[in-house]
Each structure stands twice: as structure tokens, then as C-alpha cells.
Structure 1
Amino acid sequence: MALFGAQLILTIIAVSFLHKFTPYHSLAEWLLARGNLVRYMYPKDEELRKLAGITVSKGRHRKNRSEHSRRISLLENSEDKSFSVPKNIDLDLRTRVIEPLHVMVLRFFSEYRWLVDFSAASLIVYALTESWLQSRGDFNLSLIWIVMMAGFALQVLFLLTALYFSSEEDGERSLCITFGFFFALVAMAVLIVPEEILEFGLDEAYENFTSGAIDFLKEQDLPSSGPISKIAFKSLIGVCAALLGAFLAFPGLRIAKMHVDSIRFAVDRPVMQIVLHTSFLFPMLITLMWVKPIGRDYLCNPATGKRMTGKDEPLMSSLTFDLIRMSLVPMLCVLRMLLMTHYLQSYLNMAKDKVEKLKQEAGRINSLELQKTVVRVFYYLCVVTLQYLAPMLILLSFTCLLKSLGGYSTGLFESSPVNSTASVPKTSPAVSPQSEVASAEATAEHFKIALENLRNVFSPVFFRGVFSFLTWWTAFAWFITSLFGIAYHMYFTEQ
């Protein structure tokens, strides 16, 4: 209980930090506005008139307008008098370093700042708890932080997906629905693959959950043949997987577009190209580690160890393989965070690319539409950043839950995994009915026994199977949607 108190103190400190410190010193603002990103400024009316050779009386100029109000009016279809200019106008966009004041007015900035700051606090609390504060039998409070982090990331993806459904164009809506049905079929196909090929452990998780639930219901004098059938269990997981795949559709397409542009901008930097390709293919490596013939059967086979080391023993134990497989996810997150500036700058460069493409076309364009084309890129910077970060945070959350709830131990700190088959006392000790204190102790003991029985229902074996599948599925769906995006942006948009 003393260590549980230490966890509670750490939680209170983290909450106070989020409430008092982050409004003034936000990690989210620092990631976007530390002088690392450059945005393109939209051309003003005076500049466009001068380049197009259009003269206008001075009385029609509106000089007392701030840049922010002009930018907002452009996006809200203001009634400013517009004019047409040639598409091939000799226009060079001005650049400006992004500052904290610039990003505060962007769309979804509040959601972005909360998600990043809360996720950073959650990961710090989780790391400290796993390292020093948790002991055997204690409830891990940091897991509540991780669950909330995953929930906020999923909420952000839901809001972004709803944004496409609320648009007037049907293309985005149809694409999201198509990906949802596609991933529903893929999930159902994956769930019937034998465990000898894809080792999620869902069959063992279902059997452990069913047996634990039956025992728990019997102890409560509620006889039952089982809470749920195996088909219903896997169907429920398949529906959740389809929804998650639909939410990951546009983030995958977005990162594919940024990857193609980043490779193009790094054409004279071969080392950067290698790093970018490694970052893009890393989810595929994580996915392959759950393919048993490629992963566990090869690396944990004594024959492989004999060929590589000359000793008749496997390269690693089964537990070491599980830990290495899970450690690939934090490695991916670190790599993506290091490349975040490069990816976001490639997105901001889209403003210049769009203007350059206009120069290759004939005809004229409304000045307001030209300005919107440029300013809209920066206006949706936080949306793109959320599409970049949210899948990463979901994947990392599932991995943390897999490690902790699955009963894995790194062996670096003094801890021991929870034993799912540990015997649970069936009766509470005799208590004198005359003593109120003894009665309270008996009630607490009864609650403890019920909690231990409930732990046998939701055992580490159950959590290991469920979160192993969710971790694999998130990496798989994220990579598949990215591949679709690569094919689309490289072969269809360039034709």
C-alpha cells in the first residue's frame, strides 16, 4: 500500500503539471514552433495586382487589417472584392518561420496540444511506475494513464474521420467506408489463420477467459455455460479491427504523401533517403515479427543458433523474443519523432508545389482562390500533425498494455509477473460480529477475494492475446493504408 501511495502521489504531480505548467510551456507548441518549420505566406492583393498589371484606386485598399484576420476571412469566404489573375503569373511565395502565436489559431490546435502534452505525461508516469514504483500485487495506476492516452488518440481519429464525412465532397466519405469494409474482410480472414502462422494467442485467451468466467459465476451461485461463444468473441474483435482500420485510412494516406514528398526533397541526400525508407518500412518489420515461421520459429530455433554462433542453442529465449518484438514499437516511435520535422516541412512545401503547378496551366484564376490554395496548407497543419502522431500513440499504448497486463518482465527491475493460475482463498477468516472493525475487515477481505477472482477472469493470458492482436493489427493497418497511398501518389496522381 505504501508503493500504491507513491503511485498516487506521482499521479497527482503529473495532473498538477498538466494543469499549471503546460498552458505556458507546451511540448506540442515546441514541436511545431521552435524555429524548425517554415511556412509559405499567401500573396496579398496588392502583390497580385502588381504582378498582373492591374491598377486600382487607393481608396479601395483596406490597409488596417491584420494578417490573421485576412487569413481567417479567406477561409470563411469573405466578401472582399476579388479579381482574376493569370495562372502562370510570376509569383514567388514569401516564407516565414512558424512561431507559437501562429499555431494557436490553427484548426484542431487545442486537440493537438492536449493529446501531445497528456501523452508525454502519461509515458513519463508509466516509465517511472514500471521502473521504480510498482511491486508485486500492486495495482498499476499508470495503466489508467495509458488507457486514457489511447482513448484520446482514438477520439482524435474519430473527429478527423467525421470531418471528412461532414464535407460536401463524397470522395473522402466513400474512401473511408471502402477501407472499413476492406479491413472487416481482412480481419475476419486473419482471425481464422491458425496460431502456427500468426501467433496472437487469441484461442488461448478465449479459453482462459471462458474458464475463469465460469468459475467466477459458479462462486457467485450463477451457473453458466460461458459468457460468450468463440464466434461472437472473434466477431467482436473483427468489428473493432474494422473500425480501427477505417480510422487509420486517412493517416496512412497522409503519411504516404509526406513520404513521397520527403524523398523528393532529399534526392541529393542518400543517407536521409535510407532513414526515410527505414521509417516507412518499420511497421512491416513489426508485422512480420508476429508471423511465427519468420519470427519465433527462426530466431528461437537451435539450428539457427548453431549456424550463427556455433553453439547448439537458440539465439534467444521465447521471453527475450517477446520483449524484442515489443521493443520495436518504441524504436519506431523514436524514429518517427526524429523525422517529424522533415515530414511536416514536406507537407508545408505543398503550398509552393501547388503554385508551381498552376504556372504550368493556361487560363486565369480568381485571386481569392489562389490565396486560399496557399493559406489552406498552413491552416490544416495541426490536422496533419494529428494524423501523423495519433496512430503512433495508439500503437505505443497497445504495446504498453501488452507488456504490463500480459505479465511480461524485463528483468531489469525487481518485479515478478502475475500468476494467472495462483490459488485464491475461498473463505474469509472468522470475524467476531460484535466488533465493527472486524466487520469492516471482513468486508474488505471479501472484496479482495472477489477482486482476485475477477483477475482470474481477465488474466494475463487474456490480455496477452487481445493486446497482441491489437498491436499487430494497428501496425498492419497503418502500413497497408500507407502502401495504398504510395501507389496512389506515385502512379495515379503523376499520370
Structure 2
Amino acid sequence: MALLGAQLVITLVMVSVIQKLSPHFSFARWLLCSTGLTRFLYPTDQELRTVAGIQKEKTKKGKHAENGKAADVFQIPRNLDITLENAKVSTMDVVHLKFYTDYVWLMDFSIYTGVVYSLTEIYNSWYPIKDEINLSMLWCSLVLGFSFKVLLTLWVQYFKGEESIGERSTCIVTGFAYLLVAMMVLIIDENTLEIGLEKAYTSFNHSASIFLENQGMSSTGPASKIIVKFVLAVWCGFLGSLFTFPGLRVSKMHWDTLRYYKDKKILMLFANLSYASPLFLVTLWFKPISRDYLTARVFSGMTDPLMTTSAFDSMRLIAIIVVVLLKLALMPVYLQSYLNLANQRLDVQKKEAGRISNIELQKKIAAVFYYLCVVSLQYIAPLIMCLYFAIMYKTLGGYTWEGIYKEVVYEECSIDESPLASTILGADGEKTVAQSAQELQLAISSLKHIFTVEVFRGVLGFATWWSCFTLFATTSMGMVYQSYFSNI
């Protein structure tokens, strides 16, 4: 109970910090406004008229009247030589952007959750959790929920309007493609891909059967293995569909980064390492080329393997954190590459023939900055999901950062043997408030017997690996797309 009290104190303090600090400082806002990002300004009507040599016409009475003003629409050549001015991104610029509040909330809440989790882990190292609930896992669950909600909101935008037919078809096709891939992954032997679902299903089925028998219901298990794997495959396909356009966007930004910063060799090195890092994370779950190679093979001149089994498990978790931090550090570079898209659009337009209206040109330039927060969400939301799946995998799976297992042993669920079972009902057969609380505590205790460490290792381990795999697959597909169309 002391640990639970300490967790409540940490939670209350952090809630107070969020209320007091967030209006004055925001890490999300700092990334956009204090890292040197530069946006391109669209040319005004007067500038376009001057460059194109067009005289301003006198407004005829009643022509294109709107709110008491005459609309100033004129045509200019597409190949007009225009130079865009730039300006530093400021706070007043970003507050009006689309999905700005969603971006700030997701990024800042993720940071606060990381602080809560770190403080809980430090306290837990001195006073280990036994029967209390780890409240930091509730925070992590909220972060995953918010990330999923944001990605779903962006995904739904492609199903609105008649202009998004291509994007809508891409989401549907990739969703079914990832569903097929997930079905193939789920039949791979555990000795090749150690996702741990077989042990998780066996443990859950056994514990749930005992629980149902103690409740007077005969059962061989709550669900068949095929149904469980099919549900997981559907979830995998849907998550892959959500990650599709974020992956394509990141690939486009990486492609432009390689072009804009080709003279900065060190930056290019870290950018390429960051881009290829999801592939490294994915291979860490393939036993023959990762665990067996590092924990079983003894190299010449050595008496022991390079790593112990527990150290390897901790290394996988630390590797995910390092990759996410590296990508977060490079985020301003990628966002600047995205903002440079305004100038890139103008350069492409100069090679085209024909004419374009001033309004259409201005919208084409302004839209790049208008969707800056959308692009930021597409960049960070998949990373946040990978990170917090890994954190929950570490904590609920019974691992530590030092490479030592927490030996957590759960007894089989038995309602009759519980000391609380005999106190559920009062002498007159009616429940009191205290007895209802005891019944709730007994129900939670029973659930802890059902959802064992093996269950969490299987489910969260698979979720962690699949999120990393989807991140790698979508960015790879995006790079193939960029390579193909850049050569046409």
C-alpha cells in the first residue's frame, strides 16, 4: 500500500504540473518554434502582378462582390520566375494550424507519461510492487489510446470527400495486405520468430479454465487458438493501414533530406541510421540471427557467449528507446525538409506550360505550412506507439533494464482458498460497502491470476514487434515509391 500511495502522490503532482506548466511551456511547441524551422511565404497579389506585368483592373460594380469586397482573381503564366520569401516559424503562426491541439496534447502528454513512468521505476527499484497496481501502466495505456485515436482521425480524413479516392484505395489495399502478412507471421514457428504467443495462449487458456471451473462452469477454454490469432491478424491489418500514409510521408521527408543536406556527412549518417533502424529492431525477434547468435554461440577465443539471455531481452527494449530518441532528435531536420516542399512545388510548376490563377498558386504554397502539424503527428504517433508498447512489455512482462528477470510466480486461481471469499456476504446475506470493496479486490486479484506474466509477454511482445515491423514496412514501401517516381 505504501507503493500505491507513492504512485498516487506522483500522479497528483504530475497532474498539477500539467495544469500549471503546459500554458507556459510545451515541448511540442518548442520543437516547431524554437528549432530554427523556416516556412515559405506565398507571394501577394501585388507581387504577382508586378512580376507578371499585369495592371490592376478597375472593379466593376456588382462583379464578384463578396462581403463588400471585389474578388481579385487573375491568371499568370505557370513558368513565371517567382522567388519565395521565408520567415521563422513562430508561436503565433502555428496556433492556427490544422490538428495543432492534437499534436501538442499527444507530444506533451507522452513526455509527462515518460516522467511518471521514470519516477515510478526509480521508486519501484527500492520498494518493488507486489500486490499493488502499477499506475504508470494506466498512463501508458492512455498514451497508446491517444496515439491510436489521432492516427484513426487522420485515417478517416481519406474517406471523406470525392477527391481522396486514391488515398482511400491505398488504405484499403494495404490493410488487406498487412492482414495477409500477419496471418503468415502468426503461423511461423516460435523457434524462428519468438513473439511468445503460444506460451501466452497456453497460460491464458489454463488460468481462465481454472477460473471458470471455480465459478461452477465447465470449460476447456474461453476461445480457440484460431479465433485468437484471427482477431490479432485483423488488428495487425488495421494498424498497418493506419501506418501507411505516415510511412509514406516519412519516406518522402527522408528522400528530400538526403537531397537538401547532402553536404553534411555526419547528419546524413545519422539520418540513414535512423531510417534503417526499424529493420534492426525487427531482426532482434528472429531467434536464429539474433538470440542464438548473441546468447548461444561461443566465438573463437571466448569461453562464454557475448550476452546472457536476460541481457539480450533488456538490450531489445533499450534499442527501441534509442531508436525513438534518435528519430525525435532528427525531427526538426525532417520537418524542414517538408517545409521546403513549397519551394519544390514552385520549381516543378515553372517547368509546366499554361496559366494558373493567383488564388490557386497561393493555396498551393500556403497548404504546405498549413499541414505542418498533420505531418508532425504522422511522424511522432507511430514512434510513440512503438515506445510505449515496449515500455509496457518491459514492465508487465517482468523484465528489468539491468538484464535480470523478475521472478514473478502466480498461484492458480482458487476462489474457495481466498481469505476474502468467506467475507463477501454478511450474516443476513446482504452486501455492505466494505464487503463490496472486498469483492472488487477479489475480482481484480482473480484477473491477475488469469492475465499472467506469460500472457503479457506474448501479447505486448507481439504488439511491440508488429508496430516496429509495420513502421519498417511502410517506410520501405515509401522509399520504393520515391525511387520509382523520381526516375520517371
Whether 1:160 aligns to 2:157 is no
| Higher mean displacement: 470-479 or 255-264 | 470-479
* Aligned equivalents of 2:280, 2:76: Cα separation in 1: 50
| Higher mean displacement: 357-366 or 438-447 | 438-447
Q: Aligned AA for 2:175?
A: G
* Aligned equivalents of 2:390, 2:277: Cα separation in 1: 15
Equivalent runs, 1:339-354 vs 2, <5 Å: 339-354=330-345
Equivalent runs, 1:465-476 vs 2, <5 Å: 465-476=458-469
Q: Secondary structure at 2:287's aligned position in 1?
A: coil
What corresponds to 1:379 in structure 2?
370
Q: Secondary structure at 1:92's aligned position in 2?
A: coil
Deviation at 1:419, TM superposition (A): 2.1
Whether 1:84 aligns to 2:78 is no
What corresponds to 2:240 in structure 1?
245
What corresponds to 2:142 in structure 1?
148
Whether 1:481 aligns to 2:471 is no
Whether 1:409 aligns to 2:400 is yes
Are the counterparts in 1 of residues 175 and 240 from structure 2 also a CA contact under 8 Å? yes
Q: 1:188 to 1:423 in 2, by over 3 A?
A: closer
Are the counterparts in 2 of residues 198 and 291 from structure 1 also a CA contact under 8 Å? yes
Equivalent runs, 1:90-109 vs 2, <5 Å: 90-109=81-100
What corresponds to 2:320 in structure 1?
329
Q: Aligned AA for 2:311?
A: T
Whether 1:420 aligns to 2:416 is no
Deviation at 1:447, TM superposition (A): 4.7
Gaps of 5+ in 1: 61-72
Deviation at 1:218, TM superposition (A): 1.3
| Higher mean displacement: 230-239 or 133-142 | 133-142
Q: 1:209 to 1:346 in 2, by over 3 A?
A: same
TM-score (norm 2): 0.92
* Aligned equivalents of 1:88, 1:490: Cα separation in 2: 26
Whether 1:49 aligns to 2:49 is yes
Whether 1:298 aligns to 2:293 is yes
* Aligned equivalents of 2:145, 2:191: Cα separation in 1: 32
Q: 1:199 to 1:106 in 2, by over 3 A?
A: same
CA RMSD of superposed structures (Å): 2.5
What corresponds to 1:203 in structure 2?
198
Q: 1:35 to 1:293 in 2, by over 3 A?
A: closer
The superposition leaves residues 407-452 of structure 1 with CA deviations (integer Å, 9 ceiling, x where unpaired) of 1123499x945323478781327779789xx987776665544433
* Aligned equivalents of 1:480, 1:369: Cα separation in 2: 35
Q: 1:116 to 1:239 in 2, by over 3 A?
A: same
* Aligned equivalents of 2:402, 2:484: Cα separation in 1: 49
* Aligned equivalents of 1:447, 1:37: Cα separation in 2: 53
Q: 1:369 to 1:451 in 2, by over 3 A?
A: same
Q: 1:97 to 1:294 in 2, by over 3 A?
A: same
* Aligned equivalents of 2:269, 2:245: Cα separation in 1: 25
Whether 1:122 aligns to 2:116 is no
Residue correspondences, number:
473
Whether 1:26 aligns to 2:21 is no
Deviation at 1:316, TM superposition (A): 1.3
Whether 1:389 aligns to 2:383 is no
Question: Share of identical aligned residues, percent?
Answer: 40
| Higher mean displacement: 399-408 or 360-369 | 360-369
* Aligned equivalents of 2:70, 2:32: Cα separation in 1: 32
Q: 1:205 to 1:267 in 2, by over 3 A?
A: same
Q: Secondary structure at 1:96's aligned position in 2?
A: strand
Whether 1:275 aligns to 2:270 is yes
Equivalent runs, 1:434-445 vs 2, <5 Å: none
* Aligned equivalents of 1:451, 1:418: Cα separation in 2: 17
Gaps of 5+ in 2: 61-65
Q: Aligned AA for 1:193?
A: I
The superposition leaves residues 138-196 of structure 1 with CA deviations (integer Å, 9 ceiling, x where unpaired) of 21001000000000001000000111111422100000001000000000000001001
Deviation at 1:267, TM superposition (A): 1.2
Are the counterparts in 2 of residues 136 and 416 from structure 1 also a CA contact under 8 Å? no
The superposition leaves residues 25-54 of structure 1 with CA deviations (integer Å, 9 ceiling, x where unpaired) of 222111101151000000000000000001
